Structure 1
Amino acid sequence: MRKYADLQSKKRLRAVFIIFLFSITLVIGKLFHVQIIKHEWLKAKAEENWDREIPFGAIRGEINDRNGELIVGNRLAPTLYFMPSQNRQPEKAAIELAAILKTDSKKLLEKMTKKEYMVKLAPEGKNITKEQADEIAKLQIEGLYTGIDFTRNYPNDDLLARLIGFTGYDGQGLAGIEYAYDEILQGTGDKIRMYTDARAVPLPHVDDGFQTGDNGATIELTIDVEMQKIMERELIQAMEKYDSTQAVGIIMNPKTGEILSLASMPSFHPTAYQEVDPSIYNRNLPVWMTFEPGSTFKILTLAAGLEEKVIDLHDEHFHDPGYTMVANAKLRCWKRSGHGHQSFLEVVENSCNPGFIEIGQRLGGEKLDAYIRNFGFGETTGSGIAGEAKGILFSKEGFGPVEQATTAFGQGISVTPIQQVQAVAAAINGGNLYKPYIVKEIKNDKGETLQAFEPELKRRVISEETSAQVREALESVVANGSGRNAFNDGLRVGGKTGTAQKVVDGAYRDGDYIVSFIGFAPADDPELLVYIAVDSPKNSVQFGGVIAAPIVGRIIEEIAPLAGVEKRTDQLEKEYRWGDQITHRVPDLTGMTKDMIGRQLHTYRIEWHGKGEVVKYQMPEPDALMNVDDVIHVYTEE
């Protein structure tokens, strides 16, 4: 019995020992699994419970012009974060901070005593200045941390504001390009990771970390900043001079559809958009505003008539008594006495309404309507600019004889400025309708191209031969017709005036007009197309040729060198009319002495500069146009 009992005890001990060894093996295996195999995963999980993130504001992508010049950038603007559990004197801290932030200490204290592990002191401590951040750092307030943040920076102030738009409180795009390309411009931002216990006390055995984010992409526009400055200056001056309600301007490359300038006045500063009426920052007028185009629309009727060969500019004539009867409606010319007997080129020069009604009637309603739609009216241009309108055309059922007649000279329909620019570009560039576009390229923060945009041809609307005739006629309008105030010596400007009576609540308002002018240069090979519209001008005769044409002429003169357009001698000379200043070509005086110039018996006033004998250079330059009362400044070699 004893031997049997000993044997049983040994078996039990052996079993216990085996179980013990197995348990030890399991424990060691588990420890190995936890501490070696799952170490990093468990550590990461623990750190997630310990970490407290202080965000660095995302670096939003820049917006540049076509030449890489900065339009919208970023400015350092720190934001304050506070850990209530790390500070035993929040009242004192709130008072000290309030003095620097110039805010109410009670509001700050309310935030700083919240039962949260970390509080963002906003808006009081959001986007503070570097100077404020430096002062606050000297206070050494426990539990107060400074996160890096950024706000938008505008080196050109309010330039392009109604196109660019603005960002909101947390950096999201709320209007314009900032809104339309918000996802592309947004960055993810960096973060500092601090490790603390439940009481927000830093853990000594864990190092703080840094998480790197991604910067937003940069958008390069087709806009030329220098051209935009010229455009906005001219629009501001026009509004002040004529006490107008608003003004619109577009510059386009007619060969590609690239928009070089897009302006709406009045404007606002993107950092102070709350101070203006929402209608200003919500409406980008060149694509949103619709109105009767007036006589600028006649360019398309002319192009259609020439393409269909229903008129001849030089060898066919038309008599204008001052009105035309259409279906018992008396449609008048702007010149009540009429233009009398004239060629169709003179019809264009004089912007004669009955003459264009005749062109429309020869085309017929169906063809005229087809050409109008083929030129892009009645639908958006696809420019990608937010808020673009389609305009309003007559329905086919409502396009009767009177509607056909008024449409032919730009009345009774509603179009946008960008539609007009797109259509006229096609009429003068050889007949190709290009889609207008505003974004040239999108690049990442390393400068690598993510997406590039190229000219997009929609369709051909007229032939090159017809387009050449249109250019010829419109150059004659500027040299000899209603657009003479846009004439610019040597640049061969072509164009067309527009004067449209405003419609309010379905009725024409007396004495209230939108005056416009669309011009291009050089007339034989257009590189620049400029459109200006001034709404409700006062203090002047309300005609596009009087108000808008000179503005376009000045703009083309200033932007031509920026586009590489040089002055030429082969131009259509401006026809003298009674009341015009008498002009002469400047003689070449370089290389002459004072005696030689005196013997030529010039009647010009000449001012001498320098003590030398021989003229080295002169202003104005030789062969330039000058008024008879102007002065020629000559500079001698010394």
Structure 2
Amino acid sequence: MVTQVLKKEAGNMLPRPVRTMHRRGILRIALVLVTALILLCVRLGDLMLAKSEHYKELAYDLHTRERQLKAMRGEIQDRNGKVLAANRTVCTISVIHSQIKDADEVVSALSETLKMQPKDVQKKVEKITAREIIKTNVEKKVGDAIREMDLAGVKVDEDYKRYYPFGSLASKVLGFTGADNQGIIGLEVSYDEVLKGIGGSILTYTDAAGIELKNTAEQRVEPIAGNTLRLTMDWNIQSFVTQVCLELMEEKQANEVSCIVMNPQNGEIYAMANVPEFDLNRPFELPEGTTCESEEMRQDLLNKMWRNANVSDTYEPGSTFKTVTAAAALEAGVVTFNDTFSCPGFYIVEDRRIRCHKVSGHGSETFLQGIQNSCNPVFIQVGLRLGAERFYSYFEQFELLEKTGIDLPGEARTIMHDPKKIGEVELATISFGQSFQLTTLRLLTTISSFVNGGHTVVPHFGMAISSFDGTSTQKIAYPQGTHVLDEAVSAQMRECLESVVAEGGGNKAYIEGYRIGGKTATSEKLPRGTGKYISSFVGFAPADEPQVIIIMTVDEPQGIYYGGTIVAPKVKKIFENILPYLNL
């Protein structure tokens, strides 16, 4: 009885744990499924909402191919509209790996047509990228020939290459562009934002394998051409000035000859030459016969070839700087034209015996005669009368220590003594243009303010910017001039510098029927005693109301090297040509 009861109770109790375990298992599975479903929903939400744009872009990139189109760069024109920098249509050859059907045929055809090594082309063809450029700046007729081959996976897109109609003319002013059509030096880089335009694109659709879909039209976003830059430069004046500079360089076997022609009233530059120039259409080719031991040396030679000495190189100006000493002394009232001086051929300052260029001396002379004779002892005494502190204050007043602000890159700043370290010897040498350095552009700009009535100007090339289609034009504005010299003193400066040409050392620049003012200079290069000189002349006309000012320098002329002898006649030649041309 008891046994039966126990068996019955045991039978009733056995299924309960089993059912409980089943329920727990089902509950766990359900919990896992619900958790997975929640995670899946979160993930889907993340993909569809938070990251939808990202995956949309990936899908877009997978099914589209975009090729960039270069914008046509804006022209650069001279003041009369003559085109100095234009564009030629060229082609960019590229391949799309997924669309190539016969790689060997593509490699063979492109290497032969583009005159490239087959192995170089093959590397690009086999590279798995959305688009691989084989060669840029390909002549249009070559690009057309490749297009006619109808090679699967090969694309020919037309774009533009910079072209300079006059080759080397004004090369160091205009500058040039690189393979990407961006400016590298000169005005091309200064006005890059104005000239470069806005690029376009060609968009095509592909399947998942990258094969272009035949039934879909490509989408084009046309590029917007750059603006036209109108310069103050005059092609005729630039051409003639360059010719004269080349003549002088060849005659004197000089390293280089530089020249700037400017309007001293407003800073408009009519011409800026720095010969030898280089071919703007082949700017990376060194002069014939040049040898390079390394790529670094080659780049150094290129940088030197591209360098605009008028803007980027400093030099000791010599006697042309006596104009600054004269202007400061007249403004300060420490000298008059009639003050007398004695020149025995030298002047002793502290323990230094400083010679005059005329060893026998000029004897007794007035200050005006001292200017005409370019007498060092006279200017030493005038400089000492001014004193270091006051003289230095005039350097600041005349803005000699500042850059001119020209719209060309790479302008160098004046290298001057620390004012606290200017003793009497330094003051003496500064007074006649030695022991410091500045650029020809800085000196010309400063002298302009001495003869234009006393106001500063900003030398510049940019005159106006026009839209490509010519529908709108905007003049380029420059800062108003600062008054730095009394008008009466400016009139005195014009008078004394005119006398230098009419009666003094600048007489070889004299032109019958014209009033020319000017100043000569011959400065010995460092280190002293090497017999190497820089000869120069600065002149302006008409002397009573200057409209043109010119500075010309010759680096290391051979034989006779005096500025008044070799440079003044060349400036005279330029004046004889351009004054009638400008109706002056």
- Please say if 1:522 is aligned against 2:537: no
Residue-by-residue CA offset, 1:76-114 (whole Å, 9 max, x unaligned): 011112233333222123222322222223322332233
Q: Give matches, 1:553-564, under 5 Å.
A: 553-564=572-583
Alignment partners' CA distance in 1, 2:445 and 2:134: 50
- Please say if 1:485 is aligned against 2:495: no
Judge conservation of contact 2:70–2:223 (CA < 8 Å) in 1: no
Judge conservation of contact 2:454–2:487 (CA < 8 Å) in 1: yes
Q: Give the drift of 1:564.
A: 2.6
The one of 242, 247, 259 aligned to 2:252? 242
Q: Give the drift of 1:488.
A: 1.7
Alignment partners' CA distance in 1, 2:182 and 2:264: 34
Report the AA paired with residue 233 of structure 1: Q
Q: Give the drift of 1:449.
A: 5.3
Residue-by-residue CA offset, 1:496-546 (whole Å, 9 max, x unaligned): 001111113xxx2431110100001111110000000101110x3111001
Alignment partners' CA distance in 1, 2:87 and 2:486: 48
In the other structure, the counterpart of 2:433 is 410
Residue-by-residue CA offset, 1:243-296 (whole Å, 9 max, x unaligned): 111222111110011222222222222343333313324532111111111000
Alignment partners' CA distance in 2, 1:169 and 1:117: 21
Report the AA paired with residue 73 of structure 1: A
Q: CA distance change for structure 1 residues 517 and 206 in 2, over 3 Å: closer, same or farther? A: same
> Secondary structure in 2 aligned to 1:275?
coil
Report the AA paired with residue 460 of structure 2: Y
Q: Give the drift of 1:46.
A: 6.7
Report the AA paired with residue 252 of structure 2: Y
Q: Give the drift of 1:428.
A: 0.6
The one of 65, 72, 84 aligned to 2:85? 72
Judge conservation of contact 2:91–2:137 (CA < 8 Å) in 1: yes
Moved more, 355-364 or 245-254: 355-364
- Please say if 1:476 is aligned against 2:486: no
The one of 266, 280, 283 aligned to 2:307? 283
Q: Give the drift of 1:240.
A: 1.4
Moved more, 346-355 or 449-458: 449-458
- Please say if 1:172 is aligned against 2:182: yes
In the other structure, the counterpart of 2:479 is 456
Q: Give the drift of 1:237.
A: 1.7
Moved more, 321-330 or 347-356: 321-330
Q: Give the drift of 1:69.
A: 2.0
In the other structure, the counterpart of 2:292 is none
Q: Give the drift of 1:43.
A: 11
In the other structure, the counterpart of 2:533 is 513
Q: How many residues align?
A: 518
Alignment partners' CA distance in 1, 2:209 and 2:580: 67
The one of 498, 520, 540 aligned to 1:497? 520
Residue-by-residue CA offset, 1:23-50 (whole Å, 9 max, x unaligned): xxxxxxxxxxxxxxxxxxx999976542
In the other structure, the counterpart of 1:366 is 389
In the other structure, the counterpart of 1:398 is 421
In the other structure, the counterpart of 1:102 is 115
The one of 133, 140, 158 aligned to 1:120? 133
> TM-score of the superposition, structure 2-length normalised?
0.84
CA RMSD, Structure 1 to Structure 2 (Å): 2.4
Report the AA paired with residue 60 of structure 1: R
In the other structure, the counterpart of 1:535 is 555
> Secondary structure in 1 aligned to 2:180?
coil
In the other structure, the counterpart of 1:147 is 157
Q: Give the drift of 1:421.
A: 0.6
Alignment partners' CA distance in 2, 1:56 and 1:396: 56
Q: CA distance change for structure 1 residues 327 and 133 in 2, over 3 Å: closer, same or farther? A: same
- Please say if 1:259 is aligned against 2:269: yes
Report the AA paired with residue 456 of structure 1: P
Q: CA distance change for structure 1 residues 381 and 117 in 2, over 3 Å: closer, same or farther? A: closer
| Structure 1: gaps (5+ residues) | 1-41, 566-638
> TM-score of the superposition, structure 1-length normalised?
0.77
> Secondary structure in 2 aligned to 1:432?
coil
Alignment partners' CA distance in 2, 1:189 and 1:455: 30
Q: Give the drift of 1:119.
A: 2.4
Alignment partners' CA distance in 1, 2:96 and 2:434: 67
In the other structure, the counterpart of 1:230 is 240
The one of 571, 574, 577 aligned to 1:552? 571
Judge conservation of contact 1:296–1:518 (CA < 8 Å) in 2: yes
Report the AA paired with residue 54 of structure 1: R
Residue-by-residue CA offset, 1:405-458 (whole Å, 9 max, x unaligned): 211111112111111011110111111112222322233324355753335334
Report the AA paired with residue 441 of structure 1: A
Residue-by-residue CA offset, 1:562-588 (whole Å, 9 max, x unaligned): 3331xxxxxxxxxxxxxxxxxxxxxxx
Report the AA paired with residue 255 of structure 1: Q
Report the AA paired with residue 498 of structure 1: A
Judge conservation of contact 2:340–2:367 (CA < 8 Å) in 1: yes
The one of 170, 178, 192 aligned to 1:182? 192
Alignment partners' CA distance in 1, 2:62 and 2:112: 35
Alignment partners' CA distance in 2, 1:43 and 1:377: 60
Judge conservation of contact 1:432–1:457 (CA < 8 Å) in 2: no
Q: Give the drift of 1:305.
A: 2.3
Judge conservation of contact 2:146–2:156 (CA < 8 Å) in 1: no
Q: Percent identity?
A: 37
Judge conservation of contact 1:317–1:344 (CA < 8 Å) in 2: yes
Q: CA distance change for structure 1 residues 138 and 449 in 2, over 3 Å: closer, same or farther? A: closer
Moved more, 301-310 or 291-300: 301-310
Judge conservation of contact 1:287–1:387 (CA < 8 Å) in 2: yes
Report the AA paired with residue 323 of structure 2: I
Alignment partners' CA distance in 2, 1:187 and 1:363: 54
Q: Give the drift of 1:310.
A: 3.0
Alignment partners' CA distance in 2, 1:73 and 1:43: 42
Judge conservation of contact 2:99–2:212 (CA < 8 Å) in 1: no
Report the AA paired with residue 565 of structure 2: V
Report the AA paired with residue 292 of structure 1: E
Alignment partners' CA distance in 1, 2:320 and 2:577: 23
| Structure 2: gaps (5+ residues) | 1-54, 287-300
Judge conservation of contact 2:62–2:210 (CA < 8 Å) in 1: no
Judge conservation of contact 1:266–1:280 (CA < 8 Å) in 2: no
Judge conservation of contact 2:278–2:306 (CA < 8 Å) in 1: no
Report the AA paired with residue 76 of structure 1: T
Report the AA paired with residue 512 of structure 1: K
Judge conservation of contact 2:101–2:153 (CA < 8 Å) in 1: no
> Secondary structure in 2 aligned to 1:68?
coil
Alignment partners' CA distance in 2, 1:471 and 1:529: 12
Tell me: higher relative CO, structure 1 or 2? Use CA pairs within 8 A at least 6 residues apart.
2
Alignment partners' CA distance in 2, 1:367 and 1:536: 34
In the other structure, the counterpart of 1:631 is none
- Please say if 1:342 is aligned against 2:342: no
Residue-by-residue CA offset, 1:449-503 (whole Å, 9 max, x unaligned): 5753335334222222211121111111112111111112222111000111111
Q: Give matches, 1:199-210, under 5 Å.
A: 199-210=209-220
In the other structure, the counterpart of 2:283 is 273
Residue-by-residue CA offset, 1:313-332 (whole Å, 9 max, x unaligned): 2x443221111122232111
Residue-by-residue CA offset, 1:615-635 (whole Å, 9 max, x unaligned): xxxxxxxxxxxxxxxxxxxxx
Residue-by-residue CA offset, 1:573-611 (whole Å, 9 max, x unaligned): xxxxxxxxxxxxxxxxxxxxxxxxxxxxxxxxxxxxxxx
Report the AA paired with residue 554 of structure 1: K
- Please say if 1:386 is aligned against 2:409: yes
Moved more, 210-219 or 333-342: 210-219
Q: Give the drift of 1:402.
A: 1.6
> Secondary structure in 2 aligned to 1:149?
strand
Report the AA paired with residue 67 of structure 1: N
Judge conservation of contact 2:137–2:179 (CA < 8 Å) in 1: no
The one of 198, 219, 232 aligned to 2:229? 219
> Secondary structure in 1 aligned to 2:208?
coil
| Structure with greater helix percent | 2
> Secondary structure in 2 aligned to 1:241?
helix
Q: CA distance change for structure 1 residues 562 and 199 in 2, over 3 Å: closer, same or farther? A: farther
Report the AA paired with residue 331 of structure 2: E
- Please say if 1:443 is aligned against 2:446: no
The one of 306, 309, 312 aligned to 2:336? 312
The one of 101, 110, 124 aligned to 1:88? 101
In the other structure, the counterpart of 2:74 is 61
In the other structure, the counterpart of 2:295 is none
